[in-house]
Structure 1
Amino acid sequence: MSDHTNGVPPFDSQDEKNTNHSNLEIIDATGEEENDSPIEQVRLTVPPTDNPNLPVLTIRTWILGLLSCVLLAFVNTFFGYRENSLYVASVAAQIVTLPLGKLMAATFPAKNIGLPFTKWSFSLNPGPFNLKEHVLITIFAGCGANGVYALSIVTIVKVFYHRKLNPLAAFLLSQTTMLLGYGWAGMHRKILVDSPYMWWPENLVQVSLFRTLHEKENRPKGGLTRLQFFLLVFTTSFAYYIVPGYFFPAISCISVACLIWKKSVFAQQLGSGLHGMGIGSFALDWNTVVSFTGNPISTPLFAIINTLVGFFLIVYVVVPTAYWSNTYEAKKFPFYSTKTFDSTGHRYNISRVLNQETFDFNVAGYNNYSKLYLSVFFAMSYGISFATLAATLSHVALFYSGTIWKLTRNTATALKGNLGDVHTRLMKKNYKTVPNWWFHAILIVVFVLSLLSCEGFGKQLQLPWWGLILACFIAWFFTLPIGLIQATTNQQMGLNVITEMVIGYIYPGRPLANVTFKTYGYISMTQAMTFLSDFKIGHYMKVPPRSMFLVQLVGTLVSSSVQFGTAWWLLTSIPNICDTSLLPDGSPWTCPGDEVFYNASIIWGVIGPQKMFTKEGIYPELNYFFLFGLLAPVPVWLLSKKYPEKKWIKLINIPVILGATSNMPPARSVNYIMWGAVGIFFNYYIYRKFKGWWAKHAYILGAALNAGIAFMGVLLYFTLQSRNIAGPAWWGLDTDDYCPLATCPTAPGVEVKGCPVF
């Protein structure tokens, strides 16, 4: 029996104890249940208790939840089209809605309101604002914070291809790509949610923050309560972020080598944290630590080690070897770049290979111009993504096939037995589960609407019915293996590259079909991960599953509608939006993310993988990465079988190692270096030396640092940056790391402005 050691108090919020329910019952695992969670971090963070009588879907939940959902959906979409995009996470709403909820509980009258023509009624004030209401409000906000990936399709059709798009088709595309994931989530939730071994590490940050905000805790002598600690760190982070966010952006990446060797291309390629290998680079900005790679404090140590091993092998061994051996004429191009190039080392002129009238591939133009070249890092990133995908399948088949078969064959019996923990038992005992037919019904309806959006409206999206079925199969097939990895390592493998490649081979020369296929195949899987992660938060916080399902469904419908409406309004009301050649000087409406999306549609949809990854192109050898990835987990599996007593062998996760740099680009070397350093410090040194402090404060620290940055970022944008009020003009105001030569080619005779000619 595990106790609440290391300074973690039991779950006994005074607010919950003071509810107006006369039959209040606190079910505590220390009584009839045994706390047998196999994951220590879960035992240290999640209380084995529940109060099943707390009101959940209250008027406060609906008002504050819907308001948060609408506001975040609008703000994030609005700023997503601007040069300096701004992302407001759900943690901002999580903090703001707490005092609002308590204010409503203190001021609203305790009056029952009947719904017309029904027997249903609700109370304007069902009692003190409680934790479960707050969880559902945050889930609402999370739906609004998640972007609608399909809006990039709408954008490139209207403003890059200058083609008409039926608004109903665009609306259905936005809704269906977000809702298909419910089907995949419903099929796999028994394994990925109910099993205690699928613990979703990132969710423990949320759990810790919820407990901090709601539990009453006596202040230890000479110390701080967790709420006081959160407020102290939040205030400090909020105040400090004005330095890297406004006055001194250069400290977001300090590349020491570039400050010493200002005229050496080689030194800057080695030392640049933004454009090179990042040796000796560091940052004094928490945003650099968590951008692109996530919160290292909530990432398990073994996942951090695996990721860093992969990062060092790829960035410091594989890519430099390929570059300095001039593989694929690598020296003609920058060491690290996401742009496309022609055979002369200059930017690829897309207009020469695209028929402007029919918007398909111009074969004659391509044959008279040049094959498509990539920087060596960008090319290797594609190959490594191939290997990662294959390794994910192989790893799951070798290490998890027995567990998957056992759970699939008899899930209910397995979860009642040695695979169930206290949280699963409490949820099954106190609440009705979500029937499978709810998920199946949504899947059928959404699939039919997806067919309508693709095949109807004059087939504007170019994707035929069989392409939609294939995209759905890919999403369903990969949800379980990718979910197993994310639920245990905090790392998610993406399907964007493989989906682009599959449809690029099968149906080339059609850019809209390519991006539509990618969105249905990739984003519906990603949405399934989001739904499953939210289900696990509800599992930990003992929120009724049906209430969680309803909030997720309504939140997704509302946020998708608001984001679509915002995007359509901007695209139809701002002259020359996204067109940098026609926008006035200083205009913020440059759509940087959508421009990258547009280029991808050309590379994969117009030119296609046939002319890149076969003998017709430059990179046919990258296909061997599939075979390498498939075989790479086998030696680890064999060693784990031969030496079962050596537990560390099973912690070697080949998909995580290979997928370490999957966020590069847009992540840079400095992001990984700082992420790894912070992660090892907290999850190795602090966790082992000061486990009591770690259990009480570690996740709260991460949440408070992120929240402080979010609030200061919003404040800076609305008060200064939106008014084009820049900080004082000095060298520290530049967001670059002063490594201009790191992007220079080193092949003889290639002339690029600002670079020496070798």
Structure 2
Amino acid sequence: MGIGLSAFSSALAEIYYFKPQTLTVSLMFLAIISYIIGTAMHTFIPQRGVFNWLNPHPFNKKENAFVIIMASAAANAALATEVLAVQRLYYDVNPSAAASIPLLFSSQLLGYGIGGLMRSVLVYPSKMFYPSILPLISMLDTFFRDRTATQRKIQVFWSVFSIIFVWELFPEWIFPLLTGFSIFCLAAPNSPAVSRLFGGSNGNEGLGFLSICFDWLYISALNPFTVPLKALISALFGYILCIAVFIAVFYGNVWKARNFPFLSQVLFYENATLYDQSLIMGANYQVDPQLVAEQGLPYYASTWVIYLIATNLALAATVTHLLIWNHNDLRAAWTWLSPASFQHTWNEIHWRFWKYDGHHGGVDDNDDLDPHYAQMLKYPDAPNSWYGLTAVLSLIVAFVIIYKCDSTLPWWGLVIALLLATVFILFVVALYAMTGIPLSIQTFVQMVAGYLHRGKPMANMYFVLYSYNTMNQAQLLLRDLKIAQYVKLPPRAAFAAQVIGTLFGATMNFVLMSSIISNRHDTLLSIQGSNVWSGQQVQQYNSQAIAWGGLSSELFSIGSRYHWVPLSYIVGLFVPIPFWLVHRYWPKLQTDLVYTPLICAFIGTLAAGVNASALSFFIVGFASQWWLRTRHPRWFQKYNYIVAAALDGGTQVMTFILSFAVFGAAGHIHLFPSWWGANQAGNYDHCMLLQ
């Protein structure tokens, strides 16, 4: 089942990557499908004779978790395929399969190796509870406990699942006005100002202020049932600031904002036409300063610049916030770099790995251990040497491959990329584990690479691959290790599931990517693409590499147009300090509950996508985490996460069906006939179409 679903999810993820409507293969979808398949296999495979080894007992929770972890490790379009796609489409560089597949393996597994060495700090403690996976754990508990004891929960799950499954037909297809219902848009459908502020039912339409969203697909981008209350409050402050800043920047014409679309992520000429980066590229895949002088420097939409600033503010604030409030935890995280730890790891390494005694590294008496982990101590641990060897082998492969794939990234650039990833794994994953809200380091590492490797956009892409992707893979590994901890899946089984799923998925990613680029080359290069295939994500990744890798000095250095983007990182380091000082001298104000990194991150949260869901997200979140948790705690404990799981599961299964049936994943798009509730010729909320 794990191999089958890994093949399915990895192929589907790569296909989705090249679609006009970008979708992901969700954890909840894989959980429900694997549960259905597993119970069906137990029902129909005979339990006697030669078949008994295939079906020795009922499908259980640990088996389901093993399949979920393996399939989820494969269920992403590996970032290396994005790099390879850009090389093929824009640079006429076509690395062989013999070089490409090791590139995929090394870039996917480096994060696993480094992240695994930090699991004693980022997985074992109770404060690292990963709220985003709690609905999944609640669902698995309900499915596999004694049916008589959980009958009510099962009824609630399948009732909510069925209702949302049918309901999603309406906002997703029949009645898309429900994606973003705005009374202001209906009252003033021809006002550009109303569209920018209140519109939000379509991508890059507007800020969606006071719009109500009835589509759980968009509301649950971060499941509001799982985000802790203090994180919600911080996010709400950031959201309000985002609206104020975006409006002020646009109407103040900062960075010539009114020349360009209100929300956009691509590069423009000053006259608002799309910037053609191919006209500034010289030999050896480098930007030619003379050609840049002829074409002029590109512009961003000003709201996108605010997003870049907010991302850097949040990342820097994360470092300071955790150093102030969690310094003891962070100090413990680096014990694996001590000489004693290296000696212990060296002593563990032996070709007869089954001789390892399974000791858990002296964590048994730690008072901060998750009680779930305390029950895991009976299983032999996956030793640090396994994770260390995974990282070392991946690093050796990476050193070879960056030269075989014409990356233009020198070996020392790879070392710096990995050092940055290692540091940020500790900070960013810790924040994610405590709040459920992920932060991206992509902008920051692109900035660093731009200054280290000036004029080399391809080197920038590889630097991002081995820094941002390494951190992201570590976050996925640590999240899945927490799933294993909650369901008591033995650590060695979890390690095997993750490595097998990752390697298998990366191979499938490469096969699908090669086939799609070979057959849809011209379509992927076009701006609009087709109604079936699109190169929008490849184009955006390449544009970012051009801006940061080729023009970082001209666009972002001190005195240049966007110099506040890198300077914001320095500012962000000081943002948490006032809150810490206030708490130190006036603790009753409880400023220790403020997550400054989330406030900063949400200042840029509306820079792209469908924004009408924000208000509904906060309404549901506060109803769950404040009203329900404080007024009806018993109901919250029993049903909050099982309802969240049912909503996610029903929505994602229906979305999967619709993506193939009507949204073009199977080759043809079948939109619902246009009517007042499905304005196919414009924005669904009837706000003015500005672009």
* TM-score normalised per structure 2: 0.90
Cα distance between partner residues in 2 of 1:741 and 1:349: 28
Alpha-carbon contact 2:116-2:477 (below 8 Å) kept: no
Alpha-carbon contact 1:155-1:594 (below 8 Å) kept: yes
Matched residue SS, 1:659: helix
- 1:377 paired to 2:325: no
Cα distance between partner residues in 1 of 2:395 and 2:527: 40
**What is residue 33 of structure 2 aligned with on the other side?**
96
Q: How does 1:610-625 map to 2 (within 5 A)?
A: 610-615=553-558, 617-625=560-568
Q: Which one-letter code corresponds to 1:225 in the other structure?
A: R
Q: Which one-letter code corresponds to 2:674 in the other structure?
A: A
Alpha-carbon contact 1:255-1:737 (below 8 Å) kept: no
Cα distance between partner residues in 2 of 1:657 and 1:597: 26
Pick from 569, 577, 585 the counterpart of residue 634 of structure 1: 577
**What is residue 567 of structure 1 aligned with on the other side?**
513
Q: By how many angstroms is 1:409 displaced?
A: 6.0
**What is residue 473 of structure 2 aligned with on the other side?**
527
Alpha-carbon contact 1:144-1:555 (below 8 Å) kept: yes
**What is residue 586 of structure 2 aligned with on the other side?**
643
**What is residue 466 of structure 1 aligned with on the other side?**
412
Cα distance between partner residues in 2 of 1:709 and 1:409: 43
Cα distance between partner residues in 2 of 1:181 and 1:231: 37
Cα distance between partner residues in 1 of 2:527 and 2:363: 62
Alpha-carbon contact 1:276-1:742 (below 8 Å) kept: no
Pick from 324, 348, 368 the counterpart of residue 419 of structure 1: 368
| Larger helix proportion of the pair | 2
Pick from 288, 294, 305 the counterpart of residue 362 of structure 1: 288
**What is residue 736 of structure 1 aligned with on the other side?**
683
Cα distance between partner residues in 1 of 2:123 and 2:242: 33
Q: Which one-letter code corresponds to 1:552 in the other structure?
A: Q
**What is residue 434 of structure 1 aligned with on the other side?**
382
**What is residue 671 of structure 2 aligned with on the other side?**
726
Cα distance between partner residues in 2 of 1:659 and 1:81: 27
Q: Which one-letter code corresponds to 2:401 in the other structure?
A: S
**What is residue 12 of structure 2 aligned with on the other side?**
75
Deviates more, 1:612-621 or 1:381-390: 612-621
Cα distance between partner residues in 2 of 1:687 and 1:504: 47
Q: Which has the larger radius of gyration?
A: 1
> For 1:573-619, what per-residue CA distance to the aligned partner results, in whole angstroms no more than 9, with x for missing partners?
34534133797xx551222222211221222222x221111256311
Cα distance between partner residues in 2 of 1:626 and 1:409: 28
Q: By how many angstroms is 1:743 displaced?
A: 4.4
**What is residue 539 of structure 2 aligned with on the other side?**
595
Deviates more, 1:518-527 or 1:663-672: 663-672
Matched residue SS, 1:236: helix
Alpha-carbon contact 1:258-1:271 (below 8 Å) kept: yes
Q: By how many angstroms is 1:662 displaced?
A: 5.2
- 1:214 paired to 2:144: yes
- 1:680 paired to 2:619: no
Alpha-carbon contact 1:159-1:577 (below 8 Å) kept: no
Pick from 658, 668, 691 the counterpart of residue 600 of structure 2: 658
Cα distance between partner residues in 2 of 1:496 and 1:582: 25
Q: How does 1:470-619 map to 2 (within 5 A)?
A: 470-574=416-520, 576-580=522-526, 586=530, 588-606=532-550, 608-615=551-558, 617-619=560-562
Identity %: 24
Alpha-carbon contact 1:131-1:210 (below 8 Å) kept: yes
Cα distance between partner residues in 1 of 2:553 and 2:563: 9
Choose between structure 1 and 2 for higher RCO, CA contacts under 8 A separated by at least 6 residues. 2
**What is residue 198 of structure 2 aligned with on the other side?**
271
Q: How does 1:329-368 map to 2 (within 5 A)?
A: 329-355=256-282, 358-368=284-294
**What is residue 704 of structure 1 aligned with on the other side?**
646
Aligned CA distance change for structure 1 residues 172 and 239 (closer, same or farther; 3 Å): same
Q: By how many angstroms is 1:97 displaced?
A: 2.5
Cα distance between partner residues in 2 of 1:414 and 1:140: 27
Aligned CA distance change for structure 1 residues 405 and 511 (closer, same or farther; 3 Å): closer
> For 1:386-434, what per-residue CA distance to the aligned partner results, in whole angstroms no more than 9, with x for missing partners?
2112111111111111233357569966751422343222111x11111
Cα distance between partner residues in 2 of 1:665 and 1:325: 17
Q: Which one-letter code corresponds to 1:621 in the other structure?
A: W
> For 1:483-509, what per-residue CA distance to the aligned partner results, in whole angstroms no more than 9, with x for missing partners?
211110111221100111111111122
**What is residue 300 of structure 1 aligned with on the other side?**
228
**What is residue 215 of structure 2 aligned with on the other side?**
285
Q: By how many angstroms is 1:663 displaced?
A: 4.8
Cα distance between partner residues in 2 of 1:295 and 1:373: 34
Q: RMSD over aligned Cα, in angstroms?
A: 2.5
Cα distance between partner residues in 2 of 1:193 and 1:537: 10
Deviates more, 1:300-309 or 1:261-270: 261-270
Alpha-carbon contact 1:217-1:225 (below 8 Å) kept: no
Aligned CA distance change for structure 1 residues 79 and 406 (closer, same or farther; 3 Å): closer
Alpha-carbon contact 2:190-2:687 (below 8 Å) kept: no
Q: Which one-letter code corresponds to 2:643 in the other structure?
A: L
Aligned CA distance change for structure 1 residues 79 and 494 (closer, same or farther; 3 Å): closer
Q: By how many angstroms is 1:110 displaced?
A: 4.8
Q: Which one-letter code corresponds to 1:441 in the other structure?
A: L
- 1:109 paired to 2:47: yes
- 1:156 paired to 2:49: no
Segments of 5+ residues of structure 1 without an aligned counterpart are 1-63, 114-121, 745-758
Cα distance between partner residues in 1 of 2:62 and 2:437: 27
Matched residue SS, 1:348: coil
Cα distance between partner residues in 2 of 1:405 and 1:449: 30
Aligned CA distance change for structure 1 residues 669 and 661 (closer, same or farther; 3 Å): farther
Q: By how many angstroms is 1:270 displaced?
A: 2.2
Cα distance between partner residues in 1 of 2:231 and 2:400: 42
Matched residue SS, 2:602: coil
Q: By how many angstroms is 1:737 displaced?
A: 4.1
Aligned CA distance change for structure 1 residues 599 and 408 (closer, same or farther; 3 Å): closer
Q: By how many angstroms is 1:358 displaced?
A: 4.5
**What is residue 65 of structure 1 aligned with on the other side?**
2
**What is residue 344 of structure 2 aligned with on the other side?**
none
> For 1:334-386, what per-residue CA distance to the aligned partner results, in whole angstroms no more than 9, with x for missing partners?
3322232223344333343233x654213223213322222221111111222
Give the paired residue count: 659
Q: By how many angstroms is 1:570 displaced?
A: 1.9
Deviates more, 1:239-248 or 1:254-263: 254-263
Cα distance between partner residues in 1 of 2:42 and 2:567: 62
